[in-house]
Amino acid sequence: MFTEVEKLAEQKKAAHNNLEHEKDILIEQLISMGIFKSGNSQLFELSVTDLRKEYEQYSKNEQ
């Protein structure tokens, strides 16, 4: 049986994995759109929030 601390650790790990998965998907989508960098930063250096902004910006431009 898990203790509360172990449950919280598992939830935190799951949340981190979900963010990493979302980050991977966003990077793949941006690359497929021909976007490889944002300013001076490589895509993998950006946060999920920054990647979302980049994706929103470029997906609007493609419409």
Say which residue, 61 or 63, is predicted with more confidence. 61
Residue with tokens 């929030």: 49
Say which residue, 38 or 61, is predicted with more confidence. 38
Q: Is pLDDT at 33 greater than 90 in this prediction?
A: yes
Q: What is the mean pLDDT of the chain?
A: 92
pLDDT number for residue 1: 64
Burial class (CB in 10 A: 0-12, 13-18, 19+), 40: exposed
Average pLDDT over residues 27-37: 95
Indicate yes or no: pTM above 0.95. Answer: no
Average pLDDT over residues 15-43: 94
Question: Which runs of E-coded beta strand occur in 14-55?
Answer: 37-38, 41-42
Phi/psi at 37 (5° precision): -145, 160
